[in-house]
Amino acid sequence: MSTRATAPTGARRGTPGTRRRGALVAAAALVVALVGGCAGQSPPGGTAVVPADAGAVPAAVVPAADGCTDATTSYAPDAGTEIAAGSTMDAIRSRGYLLVGVSADTLRMGARNPFTGRIEGFDVDVARQVAQAVLGDPDAIRFRVITAGDRIPVLVDHEVDLVARAFTMNCERWADIAFSAEYFTAGQKVLVSTESDATGIEDLAGQRVCAPEGTTTLERLDEYDVEPVGARTHSACLALFQQGRVDAITGDDTVLAGFVAQDPYARVVGDAFSAEPYGLGVPADQVDMVRFVNAVLDGMKADGTWAQLYDRWLGEALGPAPAPPASVYGRS
C-alpha cells in the first residue's frame, strides 16, 4: 500500500534539547540505515544474501483455501518433518539452501551485525531451524533483504521460500499468501522522546507518528487523531525521529525494543493497543511447505528451543519468556 502522508521537510518544532538530541544521534541513524540497506550482497564471513533472481522453488502442489475467519489458523502437519520425493522441501534440498526474505535493520529480530556482517535475530534463528530440518544444516540458508512492503510480493512471485520478517497474520494477507502457525505474539506500542510527556498514543493528538509503509501498523494509525507518516523501513522512521521530523514511532514492541537499545533519548510508553500474531510467510500454493514448517515450529515449542531463542534475543528487552503461542490448525 502507499503511504497517506509523507515526511515533512522542515524540522519539528521542539526544545533546544530536542534539537541537540537530533544532532547528536542523527549520525547513528545514518549508520543503521547504511548497515541495513545492502541487499543482494554477501557479508564477509556471514551467510550469503542473494538477489531477487536466485532460484526460488517454483509453484507446487495444493492451492490455499478461500475464506478466512481466524488469521492464526494454519494447515496441520501431516508427515512431521519427513520429506517426500517431489515435494517443495525436496526441491529446496536438491538446490542446497533455503531462501528467506528477512529484515536487516530490525534489531533483535533481523539485523546485520556491523562487526561480523551476519544477519541475526529471533526471526533469523527461527528460519535457521527450518533450514536445519530441510537440509540438516542451519547455515544452509541465504537471505534476501526486503522491506515490510516487499513481504507479500516476493512470496506471490516465488522469489523466496519463506518470509521471516515480523509478519503479522491477517485475513487480508491470507488472500494472497499462506502463513505458518503463530510463532510469536507482539503488541503495537509507541516510542517517544524522553522529553515527551506522552504516556500513550492517546496523548499524541495532532502529532506526527511514523510507521513503515505496507504494514498493519501504519493502517492502524487511522484509528487515532494523529498524522500518519510513512517511511520505507523501520530504520527510516528512526532516522526521521532522531532528526526531529516526526514526534513518535509506532510499531511492534519487538521492533521498538531494538530502537531503545540504539537511542538513549527514546522510550516506549503505554500499553499495547493491538495484538500482532507473527507467522512465517509461505507462497499460497506451497501448502506442503506450510505443513512442514508447522511441524518444525511445534517441535521448537515443545523441546525448549523456542524459549532459548526468546531468552537470547528478546529476554533482556521484553522480560522472561512467556509460553509460546499455541498452534491453531483447521485450514483445509
- Chosen domain end from 275, 290, 314: 275
- Check whether residue 114 and residue 146 sit in a common domain: yes
Residue 205: per-residue pLDDT: 97
Residue 257 has pLDDT above 70, yes or no: yes
Which of 226, 228, 235, 45 minimizes the C-alpha distance to 148?
Answer: 235
Q: Give the tens place of pLDDT for each residue, 201-241.
A: 999 999 999 999 988 889 999 999 999 999 998 889 999 99
The 10s digit of each residue's pLDDT in 137-177 is 999 999 999 998 999 999 999 999 999 999 999 999 999 99
Q: Does 322 lie in the same domain as 253?
A: no
Task: Answer yes or no: do 175 and 212 share one domain.
Answer: no
Determine the Cα–Cα distance for residues 13 and 163; give it in Å rounded to an integer: 39
Q: Residue 20's pLDDT band (boundaries 50, 70, 90)?
A: very low
Residue with the bigger pLDDT between 43 and 83: it is 83
**Cell numbers given for 13:** 518544532
Check whether 49 has a pLDDT greater than 70. no
Q: For 174-190, what is each residue's pLDDT tens digit? A: 999 999 999 999 999 99
CA distance 320 to 322: 6
Asked if 105 and 123 sit in the same domain, the reply is yes
So what's the pLDDT on residue 26? 40
Is residue 221 situated within a structural domain?
A: yes
- pLDDT tens, residue by residue, 104-135: 988 899 999 999 999 999 999 999 999 999 99
| Residues ≥6 apart with Cβ < 8 Å to 305 | 129, 299
Domain count, the chain: 2
Examine the domain organization and report whether 150 and 22 are in the same domain.
no
Does some domain include residue 247? yes
What's the pTM?
0.77
- 161 and 230 part of one domain: no
Q: Note whether residue 7 is domain-resident.
A: no
Three state DSSP letters for the chain: CCCCCCCCCCCCCCCHHHHHHHHHHHHHHHHHHHHHCCCCCCCCCCCCECCCCCCCCCCCCCCCCCCCCCCCEECCCCCCCCCCCCCHHHHHHHHCCEEEEECCEECCCEEECCCCCCEECHHHHHHHHHHHHHHCCCCCEEEEECCHHHHHHHHHCCCCCEEECCCECCHHHHCCEEECCCCEEEEEEEEEECCCCCCCHHHHCCCEEEEECCCHHHHHHHHCCCEEEEECCHHHHHHHHHCCCCCEEEEEHHHHHHHHHHCCCEEEECCCCCEEEECCEEECCCHHHHHHHHHHHHHHHHHCHHHHHHHHHCHHHHCCCCCCCCCEECCC
Give the pLDDT confidence score for residue 48 in this predicted structure: 56
Q: What is the pLDDT of residue 296?
A: 98
Q: Is pLDDT of 286 > 60?
A: yes
- Do 110 and 242 lie in one domain? The reply is no
Mark which of 232, 256, 275 sits at the end of a domain: 275
Contacts of 5 (CB under 8 A, 6+ apart): 208, 227, 228, 229, 230
Please give the pLDDT value at position 68: 82
Q: Are 167 and 197 contained in the same domain?
A: no
Domain encompassing residue 284? 73-183+279-329
Q: Are residues 191 and 259 in the same domain?
A: yes
- According to DSSP, the residues that pair with 102 across neighbouring strands are 145, 164
167 shares its domain with 290: yes
In a domain, 262, yes or no: yes
Assess whether pLDDT exceeds 60 at residue 274. Answer: yes
Same domain, 288 and 306: yes
Do the domain assignments include residue 83? Answer: yes
With respect to residue 152, please indicate whether it lies within any of the assigned structural domains: yes
| Chosen domain end from 275, 292, 307 | 275
Is residue 320 included in any domain, yes or no? yes
Residue 296: inside a domain: yes
Do 238 and 319 have their domain in common?
A: no
Say which CATH number the domain at 92 has: 3.40.190.10
